[in-house]
Amino acid sequence: MNTVLSRANSLFAFSLSVMAALTFGCFVTTAFKDRGVPVDIHVSKVMLKNVDDFTGPRERSDLGFLTFDLSADLQPIFDWNVKQLFLYLSAEYTTKSNSLNQVVLWDKIVLRGENTKLNLRDMKSKYFFFDDGNGLRSNKNITLSLSWNVVPNAGVLPLVGGSGQVSLPFPDAYETTKSY
């Protein structure tokens, strides 16, 4: 009574429904897992320069340079539903003109099967640490923290913060040397 196309359509629709249910089951098994791990951040060198800002009016802006050590064991985060991690080190601070400033200084992608133990020494910022004015000089509360996005095979993309952060002061004077 039914044609071959009608039977193929029914089989295809049933297969998609089963795969959707299995994918939802995959998501539910790891949806409520705690993905936080302890992180150790140590800053060994802080330098501050006042440079020309070519993005706006002809003003000078603060440019910070950091050298840091970072260690963390990311193995507990990985399970069968984690494809990769996108790690990033960010700095948060307040200035007179902005109540919250966030700057990403460094990032890394860790794929499943790669070394999940981070033990980085004397790392420099991957991206420029610019402030839109002079808010870095004499700022006593700049907080560095490591966060990551968990990229799953199925499910939501959670943003997780590490359980270690460090607050550091920036110098009161600008460096005049040409090299970092």
Question: CATH code at 57?
Answer: 2.60.40
pLDDT tens across 104-136, in order? 999 999 999 999 999 999 999 999 998 888 888
Instruction: Looking at the structure, tell me whether residues 25 and 55 fall in a common domain.
Output: no
Check whether residue 122 and residue 146 sit in a common domain. Answer: yes
Q: How far apart are the first and last CA of the chain?
A: 80
Structural domain contains residue 177:
no
For residue 174, being part of any structural domain is answered with: no
How many domains does one find in the chain?
2
Q: Please report whether residue 15 resides in a domain.
A: yes
Q: What percent of the chain has pLDDT over 90?
A: 53
- Reported confidence tier of residue 1, pLDDT bands at 50, 70, 90: low
Same domain, 124 and 43: yes
Tens digits of per-residue pLDDT, 62-93? 899 999 999 999 999 998 889 999 999 999 99
Same domain, 59 and 95: yes
Confidence (pTM):
0.83
One domain, residues 15 and 47: no
Note whether 44 and 6 are same-domain residues. Answer: no
Size (the chain), residues: 180
Query: Could you tell me if 38 and 27 lie in one domain?
Result: no
Could you give the C-alpha distances from 83 to 46, 133, 173, in angstroms and in order? 35, 40, 45
User: For residue 160, what are the β-bridge partners?
Assistant: 148
Give the domain range for residue 6: 1-32
Q: What is the mean pLDDT of the chain?
A: 89
pLDDT for residue 14 is more than 70: yes
**Of 93, 118, 104, 105, nearest in space to 65 by CA:** 105
Q: Which of 87, 63, 83 is nearest to 73 (CA)?
A: 87
Q: Give the integer Cα–Cα distance in Å for 146 and 87.
A: 7
In this structure, which amino acid lies at residue 21? A
Q: pLDDT by residue (tens digit) across 28-74?
A: 888 888 888 999 999 999 999 988 877 767 788 889 999 999 999 99
Residues 5 and 63 in one domain: no
- DSSP state letter for 55: T
Looking at the DSSP bridge assignments, the partners of residue 72 are 39, 118
Q: Do 121 and 64 belong together in one domain?
A: yes
Identify whether residues 123 and 47 lie together within a single domain.
yes
Say if residue 62 is in the same domain as residue 98. yes
* 20 assigned to some structural domain: yes
Q: Which residue has the tokens 């795969």?
A: 19
Assigned token pair, 99: 């109540």
CA distance 51 to 130: 9
How far lies 65's CA from each of 40, 87, 100, in Å? Answer: 19, 20, 20
pLDDT reported for residue 179: 57
pLDDT band per the 50, 70, 90 thresholds, residue 17: very high
